[in-house]
Structure 1
Amino acid sequence: MKPSIKAALWSALAFPGLGHLLVLRRPLRGCAFLLPTALAWAYLLGHLLPLLNTLSEQLANGSLAPDPEQIAQRVTEAGMGGAGPGVALAVCTVCWIGSVADSFLASPRPQP
């Protein structure tokens, strides 16, 4: 299998930029995809997990009805309905697609 295909598979199936790091031996290019994606994931998980914990506790103790409209309202009130999560998801998507495409186009570094 060609190294560019291996790199694209690593980047597509594992995490953006891993193919550049592990197969193509291009750490700077790999970090250009890996770091923004990791930061976006950290932002999403850092804001989403506490919200999910709060909502699940409220659903369990009965203070929040299992109504999708009420839950969506609480999510919006918590700030997860604004532009921040959308931007983070866009960064993840662009980095993922860009990493796979760049892996196909890049060639491995020549070994000294």
Structure 2
Amino acid sequence: MTGRRIVAITTADHGDVTLLEPSWCLGEHPAEGCREDVEHKCADVRLMVPTACHGPVLVLTASLVQRPFSPSDRRTLVAAELDQWHEFDAPVLDAVAAALVQHTETLRCPARRLAAPKGAGR
């Protein structure tokens, strides 16, 4: 991921399309798709949690995405896989982050109860 660069992508419906690629884009653009499906995507950021029974488990995957020819939304967003893939703009992503922080506090209560010596408020 260096600076912005110009790339040519072969599409099934518009032939070769030339566009400016963001510096964060991985540059993986499958040929022969439709122009409106062209997508810039950065490397995934993954949240893994350790489990005793299954080892590390993937909880959340997120990455920057932008579809420069989308008929509905051309903004750069964060795509996150929770129960399914969702796309968030900055204010909504901030609210999601706040909810995750709040939930960490909720999870710490039972964790501290589990860690307390036997008979100390259990």
Give the TM bin, normalised by the shorter chain: 0.3 to 0.5
Give me the TM-score of the superposition, normalised by structure 2: 0.31
Larger helix percent: 1
Give 1 or 2: higher strand fraction. 2
Q: TM-score, normalised by structure 1?
A: 0.33
Q: Which has the higher contact order (CA 8 A, sep 6+)?
A: 1
Q: Rg: which structure is higher?
A: 2
